[in-house]
Every structure is written in C-alpha cells, then in structure tokens.
Structure 1
Amino acid sequence: MKRFNDDYSISDVMKEFIKTSNLEKGLNEVQVKELWGSLMGPTIANYTTQIDFHRNILYVALNSAVLKQELLLGKQKIIDLFNKELGKELVKDLIFR
C-alpha cells in the first residue's frame, strides 16, 4: 500500500468513500426516515404506519384521516423543514397515504 503525504480529514475520506461506493442514496433514505420521528414529534410518529423515500419523494402512511388533512395544509413547510435539517435540497415532494 502506497502512502501519500497529503493531509485528508476523516470527514473528507468518508464522503469520498460514500460517493464511490454508491451508498449515498441508501444513507439519504435512512436519514429522512429517522428525521420524521424527531422533527414531527412522538404524537405524529405514533399515527405513522409507514415511511418510504424514493426518487426525492417522501411517502408517509398515516392511520388518522384528520391528522392527514392537517399535515396536508403544512406540506410545503414540512418539506422546507426537512431540507433545512438535512442541509441540502433532498425532499422534493411529500405524499400522505
């Protein structure tokens, strides 16, 4: 193994590894799913039955029609909140089922 005298931070090395290994898509999915519970709080998380994230669309299944209607009113605000927390424009749309 050849050594280089260049200084790299662990963060830079990990980011490069994630990019070259095509792990970014899976990590983004995990991040978005975990954020739902922490950003929306335990009350809303209790009414959530399933969370999926594909092609920059967050799909959330809820077991309360009333809650679904309330969240639909603040849909863009929720999307903005997710993107702000993630630090990048990752969630493009939010669909409630």
Structure 2
Amino acid sequence: MNKRSSEENSISDVLKSFIETNKLQNGLDKINVRDAWKNVMGPGVNNYTTDVVLKNSTLYVVLTSAVLREELLYGKEKIITILNEELRRDIIKEINFK
C-alpha cells in the first residue's frame, strides 16, 4: 500500500489544475455560454434561437425572427453584461445576431 502524501488539495483546486493542464477552458466556455444564454434569455427568446456559438470573445446567435433580432440589437450591451455576470467572468466582448 502506498502512503498518501501529507499535502491535501481540494477537489476544486484539482479540477482547475486539470483544466489548465489539458487546455480545456475554451471548450468549457463554449458550453457554459450556451447554458447561460438559455438561462438568461428565457423560453420566449429560446424558441426563436437556433444556434449559439462562442468564437474567441464573440458570441454568434442565430435567430429565426427578424423582429426579435432587431429588438435584441438595441439591448446588445446589456445582454453582454448580464451573460458575463451569469458566467462570473468577462468572456463575451461582442454579440453578432444572424
């Protein structure tokens, strides 16, 4: 039997280290952004959303409603702020609605 080292790490520290070592943060950000969009925007907007993709620091959102697209353009900065608050990091710098 091996002895355990006396150095103890929390699970969150081990996971952070694993994510950094394996360069997984970008992939996790892409998934987290999709979830944040669904949570923040609610079912009304999600019914008209067909795709949400994060590339670099730009969020690309594909919508099926031109009217909704125009409405969301007016609140672009606020949406960025709310999504970044939901993500607890400044990941999104720009949003592009298609």
TM-score between both structures, scaled by the size of structure 1: 0.94
Give 1:9's aligned amino acid: S
Q: How does 1:38-49 map to 2 (within 5 A)?
A: 38-49=39-50
Secondary structure of the corresponding residue to residue 58 of structure 1: strand
Structure 1 residue 39 displacement after superposition: 0.7
What count of residue pairs does the alignment treat as equivalent?
97
| Residue aligning to 1:91 | 92
Gaps of at least 5 residues in structure 1 are none
Secondary structure of the corresponding residue to residue 54 of structure 2: strand
TM-score between both structures, scaled by the size of structure 2: 0.93
Question: 4+ residue stretches of structure 1 with deviation over 2 A?
Answer: 1-4
Instruction: Tell me whether 1:50 sits opposite 2:51 in the alignment.
Output: yes
Gaps of at least 5 residues in structure 2 are none
Tell me the distance in 2 between the aligned counterparts of 1:7 and 1:47: 48
Tell me the distance in 1 between the aligned counterparts of 2:50 and 2:60: 11
Q: What percent of counterpart residues are identical?
A: 45
Instruction: Tell me whether 1:76 sits opposite 2:38 in the alignment.
Output: no
